[in-house]
Amino acid sequence: MPASSVLRLSLFREIAGFAGVIARIGGRRTWTALLFLILGSLTEGISILLLIPLLQLVGRSEQNFAVRLPDNDLVRWLVPDGTLQLTTVLCALVGLVALQAAFNRFKSVYMARLLFDFINRLRMNLFESIGKARWGIFSRMRSSDLDHALTGDIDRVQAAAFSLLMLAQIGVLLAGYLVISLFISPVMTGFAIVIGVLMFVALQPFRTRATAFGRVVTTNRQDQYRTVSEFLGGIKVAKSLNVEASYFAQLQTTLEKMKADNISYVRNSTIGTALFQVASVVGLSLFIYVALVRFQLSLAEIVVLLLVFMRIAPRFMDMQTQAQQVLINLPAYASMRDLQTRFDAEREPANGESFEGARLALDTGLNIRDVSFAYGDVSPALRDGEGGGKPVVSGITFGLPAGKVTALIGPSGSGKSTIADMLLGLLEPTQGKILADGVEIGAQNRRRWRDQVAYVPQDVFLLHDTIAANLRLAAPQAGDDDLWSALRAAHAADFVERLEHRLGTVVGDRGVRLSGGERQRIALARALLRKPSLLILDEATSALDWQNQSLIAKSIDGLRGRMTILTIAHRPSMIAFADWVVAIENGRIVEVGQYQRLKQKSGSRLSRMLSGEQAERQTADVR
C-alpha cells in the first residue's frame, strides 16, 4: 500500500476514534444531536422545495395565483384538488422558516452543551489521572507541559470537536440538499455530486499539510508555554542574575518560528481556497449550460437547482475548511491521550482508597527495614529491583520511636529527602519494608497512611489567599479556635495577631507578603492542624536566620510526646532537641544512636557536625 494511502487510513482512524470518544462520552445525546441535524436539513429542504410552485407563477398574465402542486398520490391525498392559494403557500413558507429558526436556535444550544460537557469530561479525566498517579512520575515531567495540556491542548481539542460536529452538520445538510435536487433532476444532481467530489479530492494535499501543521503547532506551543512558565516561575532569580534578555530572546525565537509556520500554512491553504473558487465558477457554468442546452429544464427548475447548487458548493468548501481544522487540532488530542495513558499506567492502586482497615497505629514507632530505592523504579512492575536508575538509597535500616524526635543528618544528595518521601507514602521502596507498629505500609493502605502524616518542606507552598484559607488546606472543617491553637503551637500566633486583618490577611502569591520565617511557621501550623501521628520537616529552616530557627525549634521541641517527629537538617541547631540521630552518606546509613551519646562520642558524624557549626560561629564573631 502506498505511503500516502497508509497516511490517509491512519488519519481516518484517528478521526473515527475521536468521533467515537465524543459519542461514548455524549451517550444518547450524541445520537439526539445527529437527529437534530437531520431534522434541520429536512426543514431547510422543504422550504426550498416550496419555491418551485411559487416560481411557476412567474410570467403568468392571469390574476389567478393559485399554486398547482405536483401530481402524485401523497399530494392528492393531502390536497384533493391539487391547488393551494398563494397566501396559503406564502404563510406556510413563513411559518416553516420561523419554525426552522427556532429549531436551529434550540439545536445550537443543545450542541454547545454537548460540546462543553465533552470537553469538561476530557479535562477532568486528565486532571484526575494526573492527581491519582504515583509521585515518582512527576520527577520525570515538566510541570509546564502538564499546565499546557490542561489549558492550551484542551482548547485545541475543543476546536477539533467543534469542527467535527460542524463537519457532521455540513454532511447532513449536503445529503438533504442532494435529496431535494433529486426530486427536480436526478441527472443534474449526479452532475453536481461529481463536481463536488472531484473538488474535494483535489484538495487532499492541502488537508495533508494541515495534519503536518497541527503537529508543528503542538510542539511550538509547548515550547512557548515552557519558556513563559519557567521565566515567571523563576523571575526573581532571572532578575537577580540580569538574564531576562536570554528569556526574551528564547521566546522571540519561538514566536518567530510560529509566525513562519503559520504564514507558510496560510499561503498554502489560500491556494486551495482560490482553486476551489475557480473550480466552483467552472462547475456552475457547466451546470447552467447542461441544464439549458442538454436537458432543457424549465426556468423554475433551473432557478431552484441553481439555488441548491449555490448552497452545495460553499458546503464543500466548508467541509474542506472544517476538515483542515480537525486535522490541525487533532494532534493536541493525541498528545493529551498519550499523556493520560502515561499517568494512568502509574496510577496509585484504587484499593488504597477503599481499604477497610482501622487507622494505622503508631504507638511503638516506625521501622525501616532493608529499604532501597531508585528513581527509575516507580512502578510495581519493577519491584524486583531490575531496571531503573542508580539507587538513591540502599539497604537502609533504622527506627523512629513513637513520640520521640529523630534527626536525619547527612550531606546534600545523600538520600535524606528520598527517605522522607518514602515515609510520607509518596514513593514506594524498590526493596524492603516500612512498618508502622509492625504493619507494613503498602499499596492497600498507603493513602490511608498519608492521612496520618504532616509534611513541612523547605519551599513552602502558600495560596494567594488568606491565612485562614491556607491553614484550612489541611483541615477544611477546622474552626477559628482550631486555627489559633495550631498557630500558637507553631509560635505564629503573635505575628498573626499583629496583622491588620489577622486570619483574614491575604499572604500574596506564594506568601510573598510574609517573611521567610513567617511562611515557615504558617506551614508548620498547617501541618499541626492535621493532628498527625508523624511530622516530617525536610530542611524546613535551612534558609532562615538563627532567630527564626530558634522559634521553630522551640515549637518542635514542645511537640515531643504528642507525635513522632522526623527532622532533616544541615544545621546542628535544628537537631539539638532530637532524641535520636540517624546519619546517612551516599545512600547508606553510617551512624545511628541517641543524640547525647553521639554528641559526646569523639569522631562521630554528629560531633564533627557540631564542631563545624561552632567554628563557623567563631569565624562570624571575628568578622
Element at 223 (helix H, strand E): helix 204-233
Q: Which residues contact 284 (CB under 8 A, 6 or more apart)?
A: 306, 309, 310, 313
Distance CA 421, CA 484 (A): 29
- In eight-state DSSP terms, residue 347 is B
- Give the mean pLDDT of 477-488: 87
DSSP 381-427: GGTTS-SSS-EEEEEEEEEEETTSEEEEE--TTSSHHHHHHHHHTSS
Q: Does the structure show a pLDDT above 80 at 185?
A: no
pLDDT of residue 49: 56
Domain spans in the chain, listed from the N-terminal domain onward: 14-28+111-346, 365-377+391-621
Closest listed residue to residue 595, CA positions, set 584, 607, 611? 607
pLDDT of residue 384: 38
Q: Of the ranges 141-145, 468-472, 474-478, 534-538, which one carries the lowest mean pLDDT score?
A: 141-145
Q: What is the pTM of this model?
A: 0.69
| Alpha helices, H only, 510-604 | 516-529, 546-557, 595-600
Q: What band does 378 get if pLDDT is binned at 50, 70 and 90?
A: very low
What is the distance of C-alpha 124 from the center of its chain?
7
Q: Does the structure show a pLDDT above 80 at 398?
A: yes
- Position with higher pLDDT, 369 vs 52: 369
Percent composition of the chain: helix, strand, coil (DSSP 3-state, to 5): 65, 10, 25
Exposure string for 302-313, b = 16+ CB within 10 A, e = fewer: bebbebbbebbb
What is the residue-averaged pLDDT of the chain? 76
Distance CA 228, CA 234 (A): 10
Cell 507553631 appears where?
490
Exposed (0-12), middle (13-18) or buried (19+): which is 623, by Cβ within 10 Å?
exposed
Task: Identify the CATH homologous superfamily for domain 14-28+111-346.
Answer: ABC transporter type 1, transmembrane domain (1.20.1560.10)
Q: Which residues contact 297 (CB under 8 A, 6 or more apart)?
A: 184, 185, 188, 291, 305
C-alpha cell at 372: 532501597
- Give the mean pLDDT of 403-418: 85
- Is the Cβ–Cβ distance between 373 and 390 less than 8 Å? no
Residue ranges of E strands in 539-587: 564-568, 580-585
Interior CA angle at 92 toward 87 and 97, to 5°?
Answer: 130
Q: Does the structure show a pLDDT above 80 at 522?
A: yes
Q: What band does 100 get if pLDDT is binned at 50, 70 and 90?
A: confident
Domain 365-377+391-621 annotated CATH 2.40.37.10: no
pLDDT of residue 379: 46
pLDDT of residue 300: 62
- Position with higher pLDDT, 4 vs 214: 214
pLDDT tens string 116-128? 888 889 888 888 8
Same fold, 14-28+111-346 and 365-377+391-621: no
Q: Of the ranges 325-339, 385-399, 425-439, which one carries the lowest mean pLDDT score?
A: 385-399
Cell 484526575 appears where?
128
pLDDT tens string 3-33? 555 556 666 777 888 888 888 888 888 888 8
pLDDT of residue 528: 87
C-alpha cell at 261: 509556520
- Position with higher pLDDT, 140 vs 336: 336
CB atoms within 10 A of CB 23: 16
Interior CA angle at 424 toward 421 and 425, to 5°?
Answer: 90
